Amino acid sequence: MLIVKKFGGTSVADKERIFNVAKRCIEDYNKGNEVVVVLSAMGKMTDVLLQQAKDINPNASKRELDMLLTTGEQTSVALMAMAMDSLGVPAVSLNAFQVAMNTTANYGNARLKRIDTDRIKHELSNRRIVIVTGFQGINKYDDYTTLGRGGSDTTAVALAAALRADACEIYTDVDGVYTADPRIVKDARKINEITYDEMLELASLGAGVLHNRSVEMAKKYGVQLVVRSSLNNSEGTIVKEDAKLERMFVSGVACDRNTARIAVTKLEDKPGVAFKLFNHLANHNINVDIILQSVGREGTKDISFTVDQDVAKEAVQIIENHRTGSLKCESVDVEENVAKVSVVGAGMMSNPGVAAKMFEALYNANVNIKQICTSEIRVTVLIQDSDVDKAMNAVHDAFELSE
Ligand code: ADP
Ligand code: ASP
Ligand code: MG
Render each residue's pLDDT in the chain as its tens digit; 403 residues.
999 999 999 999 999 999 999 999 999 999 999 999 999 999 999 999 999 999 999 999 999 999 999 999 999 999 999 999 999 999 999 999 999 999 999 999 999 999 999 999 999 999 999 999 999 999 999 999 999 999 999 999 999 999 999 999 999 999 999 999 999 999 999 999 999 999 999 999 999 999 999 999 999 999 999 999 999 999 999 999 987 655 567 889 999 999 999 999 999 999 999 999 999 999 998 999 899 999 988 899 999 999 999 899 999 999 999 998 889 999 999 999 999 999 998 877 777 788 999 999 999 999 999 999 988 889 999 999 999 999 999 999 999 887 7
In short, whether 157's Cβ falls inside 6 Å of ligand 2 is: no
- Can you tell me the distance from the alpha carbon of 158 to that of 47, in angstroms, rounded to the nearest whole number? 24
Sign of the four-CA dihedral 321, 327, 333, 335: negative
Atom of ligand 1 nearest to the CA of 171: 3
Query: What is the C-alpha radius of gyration for the chain, rounded to an integer number of angstroms?
Result: 23
Q: Which helix (H) or strand (E) holds 384?
A: strand 378-384
Q: Which of 200, 190, 296, 299 is nearest to 235 (CA)?
A: 190
In short, whether 205's Cβ falls inside 6 Å of ligand 1 is: no
- The hierarchical CATH code for the domain 262-336 is 3.30.70.260
CA-to-CA dists, residue 44 to 14, 25, 69, 151, angstroms? 11, 23, 12, 14
- The hierarchical CATH code for the domain 339-398 is 3.30.2130.10
In short, whether 150's Cβ falls inside 6 Å of ligand 2 is: yes
Q: pLDDT at position 248, please?
A: 64
In short, whether 155's Cβ falls inside 6 Å of ligand 1 is: no
Return the residue whose CA atom lies nearest to atom 7 of ligand 2: 150
In short, whether 149's Cβ falls inside 6 Å of ligand 2 is: yes
Q: pLDDT at position 244, please?
A: 67
Ligand 2 centre to CA of 151 (Å) is: 6
Q: pLDDT at position 242, please?
A: 84
Q: What are phi and psi of 231, to 5 degrees?
A: -100, -10
Atom of ligand 1 nearest to the CA of 7: 3
- Can you tell me the distance from the alpha carbon of 161 to that of 72, in angstroms, rounded to the nearest whole number? 24
In short, whether 178's Cβ falls inside 6 Å of ligand 2 is: no
Question: How many residues in the chain?
Answer: 403
Q: Which of 327, 6, 23, 343 is nearest to 173 (CA)?
A: 6
Q: Which ligand is nearest to the CA of 189?
A: 1
Q: Which ligand is nearest to the CA of 13?
A: 1
Ligand 2 centre to CA of 267 (Å) is: 40
> Which residues of the chain form CATH 3.30.70.260?
262-336
Q: pLDDT at position 185, please?
A: 97
Q: Which ligand is nearest to the CA of 134?
A: 2
Ligand 1 centre to CA of 208 (Å) is: 5
Apex 384 CA angle, 378 and 386, nearest 5: 110
> Which residues of the chain form CATH 3.40.1160.10?
2-173
Atom of ligand 2 nearest to the CA of 151: 8
Find residue 263's DSSP bridge partners. 304, 333
Q: pLDDT at position 376, please?
A: 86
Q: Which helix (H) or strand (E) holds 136?
A: strand 136-138
Q: What are phi and psi of 90, to 5 degrees?
A: -70, 130
CB 111 within 8 A of CB 103: yes
Most ligand 2 atoms within 8 A of CB, residue of 6, 101, 109, 135 to mutate: 135
The CATH homologous superfamily to which domain 2-173 belongs is Acetylglutamate kinase-like (3.40.1160.10)
Provide the terminal-to-terminal Cα distance of the chain, rounded to the nearest Å.
35
Apex 339 CA angle, 335 and 345, nearest 5: 145
Return the residue whose CA atom lies nearest to atom 17 of ligand 1: 209
Q: Which helix (H) or strand (E) holds 371?
A: strand 371-375
Q: Which helix (H) or strand (E) holds 5?
A: strand 2-7
> Which residues of the chain form CATH 3.30.2130.10?
339-398
In short, whether 44's Cβ falls inside 6 Å of ligand 2 is: no
- Can you tell me the distance from the alpha carbon of 265 to that of 122, in angstroms, rounded to the nearest whole number? 60
Atom of ligand 2 nearest to the CA of 8: 7
Q: Which ligand is nearest to the CA of 401?
A: 1
In short, whether 183's Cβ falls inside 6 Å of ligand 1 is: yes
Ligand 3 centre to CA of 23 (Å) is: 21
In short, whether 133's Cβ falls inside 6 Å of ligand 1 is: no
Helices (H), 9-117: 15-30, 45-56, 62-86, 96-99
- Can you tell me the distance from the alpha carbon of 148 to that of 146, in angstroms, rounded to the nearest whole number? 6
Q: pLDDT at position 265, please?
A: 95
Most ligand 1 atoms within 8 A of CB, residue of 11, 12, 76, 172 to mutate: 172
Q: Which ligand is nearest to the CA of 12?
A: 1
Q: Are strands 167-172 and 225-229 parallel, antiparallel or unpaired?
A: parallel
Ligand 3 centre to CA of 150 (Å) is: 4
Long-range Cβ pairs for the range 172-175 (8 Å, 24+): 172/7, 172/8, 172/10, 172/11, 172/209, 172/227, 172/228, 172/229, 172/230, 173/8, 173/10, 173/11, 173/229, 173/230, 173/231, 174/209, 174/229, 175/228, 175/229, 175/232, 175/234, 175/236
In short, whether 40's Cβ falls inside 6 Å of ligand 1 is: yes
Q: Which of 102, 107, 95 is nearest to 41 (CA)?
A: 95
Q: Which of 99, 98, 97 is nearest to 66 (CA)?
A: 97
